[in-house]
Chain A
Amino acid sequence: MPMYQVKPVSGGDMKVDLPTCMYKLPSFHSSHGSSGSPEHALQNGEVDPAVKALEARQDEIMRKLYELKAAVEGLAKTVTTPDADLDLTVSSSLSSSTTFKGTTDLDTLLGKDLGALRDIVINANPAQPPLTLLVLHSLLCQRYRVLSTVHVHSSVTSVPPQLLSCLGPRHADSYARHMFQLGFTLIWKDVPKLQMKFSVQNMCPIEGESNVARFLFKLLAPYPSDPAAATLVDSWLDTAFFQLAEGSAKERAAVLRALNSALGRNPWLSGPEFSLADVACYCCVLQTGSAASAPANVQRWIKSCDNLGHFGPAKRLLQ
């Protein structure tokens, strides 16, 4: 028996004016029928391969997280148990090499090469020349093609000539900036604290000679992967810059005594290899002028540093 029939209110073939300014998505439901590969509609229980890949990635990440958790727990145990009091200066010899033969890649450290010179800009006050950075600069020049330039900022009226030539003679190819891997631009400026700028978009400026030294050192060799050894280097660095360079006479004497005892056990400050700690401490000792009155081990160490030959620029500046 026919039921009520109501005439349709609107015609069945109404034309809808789709807006052209909105995004269009292909219809999700009809995709299987129109795809080229002979995929059939998914049966119950079957999963789209793309989803499978996503799940696999997620599992991988979870696995890594569990591994990390286990490692942290292991460390926590070693720290909190009574016989965790290891002598770090002994165990640092087991860590990876801290010499300057480590492999580093400028692209990973400084970011992708955008086809232009990567220029490190350092603003220093001519009243306090950064000797450590000059030594690191000469080490950088041995490893990479470095374009070094020295400028005097308009906030400073004049600067002694040895500060203008502290980065060495001008490179013969300095007219072609793109031929160099790294730029080292030193600007003598009236700044309260030494400052380094590299990538203005991605990095805030780095302040303080010790921090800039850490940055530059990482371009030469990676920090020791053993965290204990790395911390040792860092602590010597801070000691050098805060207590040796800026401290009172008492503090300086204390540091020299600490240096003496450390150097009694090892040829270099952080163990068997020459490291950033040695560079920093040597420069600070030189700057404070306490080299002549230092204890025996320190004197021996100073001679070994001199023999390495890296400290020429620093010594020339102080003459």
Chain B
Amino acid sequence: MTKEGVQGATEEEQQAQSKKALKKQQKEAEKAAKKAEKQAKLTAEQTTEEDDFAKDRYGLSAMVQSQQKLDRELVRVQDLTPEKADQLIWLRARVHTSRAKGKQCFLVLRQQQFNVQALVAVGDRASKQMVKFAANITKESIVDVEASVRKVEQKIESCSQQDVELHIERIFVISQAEPRLPLQLEDAVRPDGEGEEEGRATVNQDTKLDNRVIDLRTTTSQAIFRLQSGVCQLFRDTLTHKGFVEIQTPKIISAASEGGANVFTVSYFKTSAYLAQSPQLYKQMCICADFDKVFCVGPVFRAEDSNTHRHLTEFVGLDIEMAFNYHYHEVIDSITDTMVQIFKGLRDNFQTEIQTVNKQFPSEPFKFLEPTLRLEYTEGVAMLREAGVEMGDEDDLSTPNEKLLGRLVKEKYDTDFYVLDKYPLAVRPFYTMPDPNNAKYSNSYDMFMRGEEILSGAQRIHDAQLLTERATHHQIDLEKIKSYIDSFRFGAPPHGGGGIGLERVCMLYLGLHNVRQTSMFPRDPKRLTP
């Protein structure tokens, strides 16, 4: 350690310090320069904001609280055709997609199953900020748009309105959607096979059911439920035309009518009551009350712990009951004719909906015969035996056997809908009328669509004494069904009927594979919401 060393060190230090100081200064200079740049930019932007001439032609509208009654006509997207070319119209729709491209923004506006392309372009009507605003509108937001309809030379394949597009003059957001959607609508509509092939996402059923409100907006769901509405409508119209009367039956009942294992209990003031498994009891009482032919549409509650593709705990039952003159085939003919009229109505008036559903869920079109094919149970058993199935004469059909029989009938007669008549007495409920000529069989029938059972019906016992005998034979507590038996003591006409499930019929008509797809807010042992 010489003095010189120390001196040298301090000199170096001084040099280093000045180097550091230089660097520091340099950095500060850079920062200042950047700041200045930013300032300049901001001021520049501010000046452009001041230049926004289209400020009042777009924006977030105030929440519609019925502030004023505007006498404005909103055009439906499905009515946007080349006939309206060059007209200035208002419409309200959802933003399906929005895509900015430089000075333009392409939007697809959607209304139920129809959509149309719309365009905001920088020009004398729209400013850059307006285009930016349009590009940033979140998907599924509801917007009011004033636009002029323009014809296009090249068809827009991806939209339902292929011949026109909208040139937007004004756009206001009426109801904004949150930016992150729980599921994407394109994914929800994608067929399963396509999803796997191209590696794109599809949405699984549970997610769809948890976010039912958004899932129901898809074209497929809209089509399915419009068709279901059609089924209900055709059911009512056909039966009313045949002279049936619609009735409403109570759903809170005091005693479980069929068996007792599968009922929901509700607390009823100081006692408990049950939710009706079927309107059976009350339909029959109406017949005994001289209404002759009745039908009823209402919920049915079954507490069956079955987690299958075709069981729900709550579904809509369409039930029929009628008095007949001499033979219960009059009832079968009436029911099958109603079903055929429903199928014909769907075939003739709902083809668009059927095709839409087929895009996501391809299936064979539904075939049927008129008059409906009616086979006897022995014939069905013979066909099954011929195909190698071993079963006894009085055995009930298991689900796989029902499906196999459906396939055999389809092969021979080419029909997806048929009736199997004269079931064995041993497998039917106690109120089924036995066959007069053969004690092993009964006057009961099942109807099948695509090999799955949709209706179970029979001629009912209308004699109080025979009913008591059969109930005793089935070891049912007579006290519990006393009021039921009483209704037949004062003159009851011979009658029969049956009931179908609306959801199951729709599912099988469209060839879908899960009944939850045709139930708007399905209920099953594992699902109670939404």
B368 touches A199 (CB 8 A): no
In the complex, chain B residues whose CB is within 8 Å of the CB of A175: 327, 329
Tell me the bound Cα distance from A178 to B376 in angstroms: 8
> 0/1 per residue, B139-173, Cβ < 8 Å to A?
00000000000000000000000000000000000
Best-buried of A153, A200, A202 by chain B (most CB within 10 Å): A200
Task: List A55-102 residues whose CB lies under 8 Å from chain B.
Answer: none
- Contacts A116-B379, A178-B376 given: A154-B368 contact, CB under 8 Å? yes
Q: Judging by beta carbons under 8 Å apart, are A154 and B379 in contact?
A: no
Residues of chain B with a CB closer than 8 A to A201's CB:
386-387
Which residues of A (105-127) have their CB < 8 Å from a CB of B? 114-117, 119, 121, 123
B255: Cβ under 8 A from any A Cβ: no
Report if B347 contacts A (CB, 8 A). yes
Contact mask A146-159 → B, CB, 8 Å, 1/0? 00010111110000
Quick check: B366 and A154 within 8 Å, CB to CB? yes
A177 touches B379 (CB 8 A): yes
Task: Give 17 A-B contacts (CB < 8 Å), ordered by A residue.
Answer: A115-B381, A115-B382, A116-B381, A116-B382, A123-B414, A151-B371, A152-B370, A153-B414, A154-B343, A175-B327, A178-B378, A185-B413, A187-B413, A189-B414, A197-B411, A200-B412, A201-B386
Q: B344 to chain A: which residues have CB within 8 Å?
A: 154
Name the residue on B nearest A202 (C-beta). Answer: B386
Residues of chain B with a CB closer than 8 A to A189's CB? 414
Say yes or no: is B369 at the interface (Cβ < 8 Å to chain A). Answer: yes
B373 CB within 8 Å of chain A: yes
- Closest residue on chain A to residue B407 by CB atoms: A200
Q: Please, which residues of chain A bring their CB within 8 A of the CB of B367?
A: 153-155
Q: Please tell me which one of the listed residues B327, B369, B381, B386 contacts residue A199 in the complex, with CB atoms under 8 A apart.
A: B386
Q: Residues of A at under 8 Å CB distance from B? A: 114-117, 119, 121, 123, 149, 151-155, 175, 177-178, 185, 187, 189, 197, 199-202
B contact residues, range: 20 to 34
Residues in B neighbouring A154, C-beta threshold 8 A: 343-344, 347, 366-370
Chain A nearest CB: distance from B241 CB in Å?
A: 19
Q: Does B385 contact A (CB under 8 A)?
A: yes
B520 at the A interface (CB under 8 A): no
In the complex formed, the residue of B with least CB distance to A189 is B414
List chain A residues, Cβ under 8 A from B387: 201
The smallest beta-carbon distance between B378 and chain A, in angstroms, is: 5
A178 partner residues in chain B, CB cutoff 8 A: 376, 378
Q: Is the CB of A187 within 8 A of B378?
A: no
* A30 CA to B329 CA, complexed, in Å: 66
Which of A114, A177, A200, A202 touches B411 (beta carbons < 8 Å)? A200
Contacts of B381 in A (CB 8 A): 115-116
For B379, the chain A residues whose CB sits under 8 A away are 116-117, 119, 177
Across the interface, B378 reaches (CB within 8 A) one of A115, A153, A197, namely: A115
A155 to B368, CA, bound (A): 9
**A175 vs B373: C-alpha distance in the bound complex, in angstroms?**
12
Per a CB cutoff under 8 Å, which of A152, A197, A202 touches B412?
A: A197
Q: Which residues of A contact B385 (CB under 8 A)?
A: 114
Q: Which 8 A-B pairs have the closest CB atoms?
A: A116-B382, A116-B379, A151-B369, A114-B382, A152-B370, A154-B368, A116-B378, A200-B412
* Complex CA distance for A185 and B373, rounded to whole angstroms: 10
> A121–B327 Cα gap in the complex (Å)?
27
Nearest residue, chain A, Cβ from B411: A200
CA distance in complex: A115, B374 (Å): 17
The chain B residue with its CB closest to the CB of A117 is B379
A119 to B376, CA, bound (A): 12
* Given A187-B413, A197-B412, A200-B408, A152-B376 contact (CB < 8 Å): no
| Distance A189 CA – B412 CA, assembled complex (angstroms) | 13
Q: In the complex, A123→B415 CA distance in Å?
A: 12
- Nearest neighbor of B386 in chain A, beta-carbon distance: A201
A-contacting residues, B323-370, CB 8 Å: 327, 329, 343-344, 347, 366-370
Cα A282 to Cα B485 with chains together (Å): 64
Contact between B411 and A151 (Cβ–Cβ < 8 Å)?
A: no
Task: List the A side residues contacting B408 at CB < 8 Å.
Answer: 200
